[in-house]
A and B are shown apart, each in its own frame.
Chain A
Amino acid sequence: MSQDDTSKYLPLTESTYYIMLTLVEPLHGYAVMQKVDAISKGTVKVGPGTLYGAFTLLEKEGLIVKVREEDRRKSYVLTPKGKKLLMNQIKRLEIMTRNGLSVKDHYD
């Protein structure tokens, strides 16, 4: 299976990247909002309008799937296609970071 499937979604926006990162395990909406705030150390906040739109789009593209619905809250998790996209994005970010750090060292 080629990488071409997922590279059309790259680069992900900051919000989408963090949302997908938290959905490695099943979570419902508000839990995603809290976790993104925590793991990004408060640098990325996701509002409910943004999150609902992201869920709708990611589900439509087959990148996440609904696993559960409790108390009117839907829980989602990454699909295999979603995991592949996330890994792709992380690899790109690794290269970007390495380049960034070498420039940073140069100026320090």
Chain B
Amino acid sequence: MAENTIRKFRWFWPWQDEQEEAWLRSMSQNGWHLLSVGLAGIYRFRAGEPYDYVYRLDYQIHKKKDEQDYLQLFSDAGWEYIGEMSAWQYFRKEVKEKETPEIFTDIESKVTKYKRVMAFLTFFVVIEAICVAIFAYNIWSNNPYSWWGIIRAISLLIPLAMGVLIYAVIRLVLRIRQLRRL
């Protein structure tokens, strides 16, 4: 029997995780429950009764041996695990009491989550910086192998990606400041 499922694409930046959580909750309130998450930005929902589920995201890069203990802890606390998308871990819980369920119960641990993302991005900023240096060198030295046009075109992507990464790190820093001001 085929289940009624739909696929949606949406892009959320790391600092927009609360918006993503709110969107997933409103989908459930409308009868579409998150079934799985796939490659960056793809969500699969299954049709069902409208239900108030709260969705919460964690960011964890796991060693295989640590994953079971992590998932067991959330399961013991009543959170259902949906899946992983690029180290983002998706959990859901029914809203029963007046208090909205949370996986992070203080500001510092929320901040630490954003810092984990920043650490990951910073690693790529460093790699990008090295690539920029290499390609800059190639362009400004007299290179006899003139796949000139192709190299030039590709090398434009490198500083662009660098710009995006730096922008992301700045937005995360601002998000952390915003949290700490509350």
Would A47 and B77 be within 8 Å (CB), given that A14-B106, A53-B109 are in contact? yes
- Which residues of B are at the interface with A, using a C-beta cutoff of 8 A? 56, 58, 60, 68-74, 76-77, 79, 102-106, 108-109, 112-113
Cβ < 8 Å to B, chain A residues 70-92: 71-74
- Which residues of A are at the interface with B, using a C-beta cutoff of 8 A? 13-15, 29-30, 33, 45-54, 57, 69, 71-74
Contact A46–B73 (Cβ < 8 Å): no
Would A48 and B106 be within 8 Å (CB), given that A69-B69, A73-B72 are in contact? no
Q: Which 5 pairs, one residue from A and one from B, show the smallest C-beta to C-beta distance? A: A49-B103, A30-B76, A50-B109, A47-B105, A29-B73
Contact A54–B109 (Cβ < 8 Å): yes
Contact A74–B112 (Cβ < 8 Å): no
Which chain A residue has the least Cβ–Cβ distance from B69?
A74
With a CB–CB cut-off of 8 A, which chain B residues contact A73? 69, 72-73, 76
Secondary structure of the B contact surface, majority rule? helix
Contact A33–B106 (Cβ < 8 Å): no
Would A50 and B76 be within 8 Å (CB), given that A69-B69, A72-B68 are in contact? no
Q: How far does the alpha carbon of A15 sit from the alpha carbon of B70 in the complex, in Å?
A: 18
Chain A proximity of B171: nearest CB distance (Å): 21
- A selection of 20 A-B contacts at a CB cut-off of 8 Å is A13-B108, A15-B106, A15-B108, A29-B69, A29-B72, A30-B73, A47-B104, A47-B109, A48-B74, A48-B76, A49-B58, A49-B102, A49-B113, A50-B105, A52-B70, A52-B73, A54-B109, A71-B72, A72-B69, A73-B69
Contact A47–B76 (Cβ < 8 Å): no
Q: How far does the alpha carbon of A46 sit from the alpha carbon of B60 in the complex, in Å?
A: 18
Contact A49–B76 (Cβ < 8 Å): no
Which chain A residue has the least Cβ–Cβ distance from B107?
A13
Contact A50–B103 (Cβ < 8 Å): yes
Which chain A residue has the least Cβ–Cβ distance from B116?
A53
Which chain A residue has the least Cβ–Cβ distance from B99?
A45
Which chain B residue has the least Cβ–Cβ distance from A46?
B105
The residue that A15 contacts in the complex, of B60, B69, B105, B113, with Cβ under 8 A, is B105
Chain B proximity of A73: nearest CB distance (Å): 6
Contact A47–B103 (Cβ < 8 Å): yes
